[in-house]
Amino acid sequence: MRAAVEGVCQQLALVRDAFSATGLPVREVRATGGAVASSLWVRTLAAALDLPVRVADSPEGTGLGACLLGLHALGALPDLDEATALVGVSDPVEPDPAAAGLYRRMRPLVEQSARALADVLTTLDALDDTPSDNPA
């Protein structure tokens, strides 16, 4: 279980790195959904991203976000910064410095592994499109 959590969190760290490379600083993460009910997920995410993580009070963060963007598009919420006051979040879970350092040192290997597996994953994906002699 831990390896799966760490793998997902390391992939999210690569996404954060891509944002940072565009000049968009990421200072904090707000997390929502079923996985964040697990303290292991939240602690690992904070360490992998080396950022504070706040857990949304509502488990339906995606729907709430869509609603707020809709209100903004309609002009009912002119300033998106006002939306932050409408979303309750936990106190920040700060990254463990030792774990963050380990994940930072591992990240180039994670990225290298992802590139090395790209062809294998493409081939596996193509198997889904291949007719099977063995119906499920």
> What per-residue confidence (pLDDT) applies to 116?
92
Phi, psi of 29 (to 5 degrees): -120, 140
Which distant-in-sequence residues (6+ apart) come within 8 Å of 28 by Cβ?
51, 52, 53, 54, 92
Q: Which residue, among 58, 5, 4, has the nearest Cα to 30 in the 3D structure?
A: 58
The C-alpha atoms of residue 30 and residue 115 are separated, in whole angstroms, by 28
Does pLDDT of 69 surpass 60?
yes
Q: How confident is the model at residue 136 (pLDDT cuts 50, 70, 90)?
A: low
Residue 81's pLDDT band (boundaries 50, 70, 90)? confident
The answer to the question of residue 98 being in a domain is: yes
Q: Compute the distance between CA of residue 10 and CA of residue 63 in angstroms, rounded to an integer.
A: 25
Q: What percent of the chain has pLDDT over 70?
A: 95
Per-residue b/e over 67-78, b at no fewer than 16 CB within 10 Å?
ebeebeeeeebe
Residue 21 domain flag: yes
Domain presence at residue 15: yes
Is residue 12 a part of any domain in this protein?
yes
47 domain residue, yes or no: yes
Instruction: For residues 30-58, give the mean pLDDT.
Output: 93
Mean pLDDT of the chain: 90
Is residue 39 in a domain? yes
| pLDDT reported for residue 134 | 62
- Residue 19: which CATH number? 3.30.420.40
What is the number of structural domains in the chain? Answer: 1
